[in-house]
Amino acid sequence: MQKYLSNLHRWLGLATAIFLFMAGLTGAIIAWDHELDSWLNPALYESHGSGEPLPAIELARRLEASEPRLQVRYLPLQVEPGHTLSMFVQPRIDKTTNKPYELGYDQVAVDPRTGAVQGRREYAAVSLARLNIIPFLYRLHYTLHLPNVGGFGTGKWLMGMVAIVWFVDGFIALWISFPSWKVWRKSFAFRVKQGSHKLTFDLHRSSGVWTWALLTVLAFTAISMNLGREVVRPVVNAISPLEPLPFDRKVDPNAGEPKLSRADIAALAAKRGRELGITLPVGALSYMPARRLYFTGFFEGSNSHGDWGLGNPRLYFDADTGELVRKLMPGQGSAGELFMQAQFPLHSGRILGTTGRVIITILGLVIAMLSATGVLLWARKKRARASRVAAKSRVSASPLPQPGE
């Protein structure tokens, strides 16, 4: 049994090594995506003008008026002092061709006092340029930048399947790390002074044992990040009921402009938020034409991800009627809802704030190291096996000694 599981672990590890190596390294970096991106691209984030900033909704209106081909998709409603207002945009439909306009960018940063554009970029473009490197790594982390084929997310599914294999293989690795109770201490030790091969083996085995619980959580939440709707939610819903996601509703995406404006929704969200006991301000709103929904998030400053706990409150409104379609309140709901709320905060480490993000960076480096040492151990074993076969071949090919020799 032990030999069979060892072989299974070896081949599952080899099959996923390159993917986990990349995911580990990129995960260690993007734990600090906002900080690194703003450091690399100050023109996209910093504004040095003087005077009071204009309301965010007015800045979005001015941008759309100056460029009729685009529509603001995601709009932060607060401007941090000394920062630009960064909006995500999408092309409108060209009525002559019935196809979206070609913009060449989907993120625009404007001076909050004048509305002047300070920078544009295509977020997550396949580019290692300074402007794109952090978003590029972010998308690489979970899709490898593989294209969608007929609406099928090949990259997300591939990395989701890798995460499933990784999750299962983690239990196999733990089992074979403790072949008997008599030698359990060895699985926690690092033989630093006994040669590179033993140290490499211990780095692979013992590092995995020490961090096993955290890596298992990371592996499972990786499945949730990529295949939440397809795999995790159906399983969780069978155990504890989940409310339907607002993204599942289907409406006519070409039904024209929504009846409610951004200002209407911002006011409505603030009112409903107070009724629900939300003390945070409305931090951003987003319009989703294909579902005729407005999404509103409640947070302060740039804390759109939620830097502590289970994230930020979110409310979803019908774009025509203002009906509250869905509310996501951290810490509220069924056991299944709480479980799903914890997935991104756990995966990103933000559930523990800055400390959690430091842990995620360390775990990302550990994952990359485990993948690399696993391949090294396999390569050494393969070379040793080849050497033994070659030695046997030389012995069998040697002529037999003749009588009298």
Structure tokens at 201: 């083996």
Q: How far is CA 78 from CA 75, 302, 359, in A?
A: 9, 8, 30
Helix, strand or coil, per DSSP, at residue 277: coil
pLDDT of residue 1: 82
pLDDT of residue 91: 94
pLDDT of residue 390: 78
Alpha-carbon torsion angle 262, 266, 268, 269, nearest 10? 130
Helix, strand or coil, per DSSP, at residue 93: strand
DSSP letter at 119 equals E
* pLDDT tens, the chain, 405 aa long: 888 999 999 999 999 999 999 999 999 999 999 999 999 999 999 998 788 999 999 999 999 999 999 999 999 998 888 999 999 999 998 989 989 999 999 999 999 999 999 999 999 899 999 999 999 999 999 999 999 888 789 999 999 999 999 999 999 999 999 887 777 888 898 998 888 889 999 999 999 999 999 999 999 999 999 999 999 999 999 999 999 988 777 766 566 789 999 999 999 999 999 999 999 999 999 998 888 999 999 999 878 877 788 999 999 999 999 999 999 999 999 999 999 999 999 999 999 999 999 999 999 999 999 999 999 999 998 888 887 877 777 776 666 566 655
Query: Long-range contacts for 75-78 (Cβ within 8 Å, ≥24 apart)?
Result: 75/262, 75/284, 75/285, 75/286, 76/283, 76/284, 76/302, 76/304, 77/266, 77/281, 77/282, 77/283, 77/284, 77/285, 78/281, 78/283, 78/300, 78/301
pLDDT of residue 317: 97
Helix, strand or coil, per DSSP, at residue 131: coil
pLDDT of residue 51: 85
Among 32, 2, 9, smallest CA distance to 354 is for 32
Burial of 63 (0-12, 13-18, 19+ CB in 10 A): buried
CA atoms of 161 and 15, how far apart (whole Å): 11
Structure tokens at 12: 């599952």
Residue indicated by tokens 């630009």: 84
DSSP letter at 243 equals P
- DSSP string spanning 196-218? HHHHHHHHHHHHHHHTHHHHHHH
Give buried/exposed letters for 256-291 (b at 16+ CB in 10 A, else e). eebebebeebbebbbebbeeeebeeebbbbbbbbeb
Tally Cβ neighbours within 10 Å of residue 251.
15
Give buried/exposed letters for 97-126 (b at 16+ CB in 10 A, else e). eeeebebeebbbbbbbbebeebbbbeebbe
CA atoms of 269 and 317, how far apart (whole Å): 8
Structure tokens at 80: 């941090």
Give buried/exposed letters for 294-311 (b at 16+ CB in 10 A, else e). bbbbbbeebbbebbeebb
CA atoms of 295 and 350, how far apart (whole Å): 22
CA atoms of 371 and 367, how far apart (whole Å): 6
Give the distance between the most distant pair of CA atoms in the chain. 107
pLDDT of residue 182: 75
